[in-house]
A and B are shown apart, each in its own frame.
Chain A
């Protein structure tokens, strides 16, 4: 019984059918082939898989074209769509190795790890804000391998469905580090993980089904972004770093950690403004990443979700 949300809720239809949702079968088949025949053979199949993704998702194609046009600053052609879908298929294939932490054969360039280590050393824990951008698994592989502390990922059980298939590859260790969203005590878990000095990663660009949304400028048009992650950081006074696993080419990733907010207690009175400013800052950083690496954006729904 809150007040009317400032921004309209996203229609449920915008959420159904992303390539991620519709292609469990294809992805399972890819995993099987990848495990049996290795990356080199599986990689050849990325072309037909990309063609399949493109052909089977006219609606996502249309929204991707809109996104690409805005990120590239020119009308997007089929070649641009192909690059986007190919990068997406590549990151899915690479999950097969990155999820269990098998980084042999991969080139992972890491930026900002020193800053992350410095925050970890403070023992206050740290929130890592990611996005549906590049590979969260590449990020996690680096964070897990280089981290002296527990790394958890906050995500929806429904979105975790696909991950569950792949997590099976990584053994029970990986699976246990997921903090499910949507439970009353989800954020209590986050607090406890941070209190133990841990890292908690989350994707800060996906709209929850609630009213914690703000429309902010993104690639020249107002887009609804969740305020929850920013409010969480404010309430807990937790430091935040941005984290991106940019796909740069076959088995090549640039994993980037960037300071975002130092944390610390904030007065309740100014929280609303602090959250707004934080969301806008996040959107600006995400926008810069999209312009720099336009084919790493894996939000296959109408991100701007124009109000009806």
Chain B
């Protein structure tokens, strides 16, 4: 396998994981938007998907249940972690691996 292949594979699996997290969030929060229509780069809170802090709480509960990854308020990276579906999925993937 060439380096390009490996990178492509990695990107593909990141995409897959993103859609998995999108489905999880849409299900947990009973959102009306289909998971595949969530823009992975759009903000989750405020403008964009329009989630609020209660959604974040519910999300953290389902993420901890599903992946064993705890989201804590004292994490200074929260603004980045919650910035978009992509950053959230990336965070979960890294925490889970680590």
Listed in ascending order, the chain A residues whose CB lies under 8 Å from chain B are 1-3, 181-192, 210, 212, 228, 231-232, 235-236
Q: Decide: B56 and A185 in contact? CB cutoff 8 A.
A: yes
Q: Decide: B32 and A2 in contact? CB cutoff 8 A.
A: yes
Which residues of the partner chain B approach A189 to less than 8 Å between Cβ atoms? 73
Stretch of B10-18, B46-54, B89-97 at the chain-chain interface: B46-54
Query: 1/0 per residue B75-90: CB within 8 Å of A?
Result: 1001100100000000
Given A184-B56, A235-B61, check contact A1 B33 (CB 8 Å): yes
With A186-B53, A190-B57, A228-B54 given, can you name 8 additional A-B contacts, CB distance below 8 Å?
A: A1-B31, A1-B49, A184-B79, A185-B73, A188-B72, A212-B54, A228-B52, A235-B61
Closest A residue to B38 using CB positions? A1
Which residues of the partner chain B approach A231 to less than 8 Å between Cβ atoms? 54
Q: Decide: A183 and B54 in contact? CB cutoff 8 A.
A: no
Within the complex, the shortest CB–CB distance from A139 to chain B, in Å, comes to 23
Which residues of the partner chain B approach A184 to less than 8 Å between Cβ atoms? 44-45, 51-53, 56, 78-79, 82
Total count of chain B residues near the partner, CB < 8 A: 24
* Chain B facing A: main interface SS: loop
Q: How far is the CA of A183 from the CA of B78 in the complex (A)?
A: 10
Which residues of the partner chain B approach A185 to less than 8 Å between Cβ atoms? 53, 56, 71, 73, 75, 78, 82
Q: Decide: A188 and B54 in contact? CB cutoff 8 A.
A: no
Which residues of the partner chain B approach A192 to less than 8 Å between Cβ atoms? 72-74
Listed in ascending order, the chain B residues whose CB lies under 8 Å from chain A are 31-33, 44-45, 49-54, 56-58, 60-61, 71-75, 78-79, 82
Within the complex, the shortest CB–CB distance from A24 to chain B, in Å, comes to 28
Given A1-B33, A1-B50, A185-B73, check contact A235 B58 (CB 8 Å): yes
Which residues of the partner chain A approach B79 to less than 8 Å between Cβ atoms? 184
Closest A residue to B49 using CB positions? A1
Q: How far is the CA of A9 from the CA of B49 in the complex (A)?
A: 18
A-B pairs, 7 with minimum CB distance: A187-B57, A186-B53, A188-B73, A189-B73, A185-B73, A184-B82, A187-B53
Within the complex, the shortest CB–CB distance from B61 to chain A, in Å, comes to 7
Give the one of B33, B52, B56, B60 with max A CB within 10 A: B52
Which residues of the partner chain B approach A1 to less than 8 Å between Cβ atoms? 31-33, 49-50
Q: Decide: B53 and A182 in contact? CB cutoff 8 A.
A: yes
- Residue pairs across A and B with Cβ atoms less than 8 A apart, 27 shown, are A1-B32, A1-B49, A1-B50, A2-B31, A2-B32, A3-B32, A183-B53, A184-B45, A184-B51, A184-B78, A184-B79, A185-B53, A185-B56, A185-B78, A185-B82, A186-B56, A187-B53, A187-B57, A188-B57, A192-B74, A212-B52, A212-B54, A228-B52, A232-B57, A235-B54, A235-B57, A235-B61
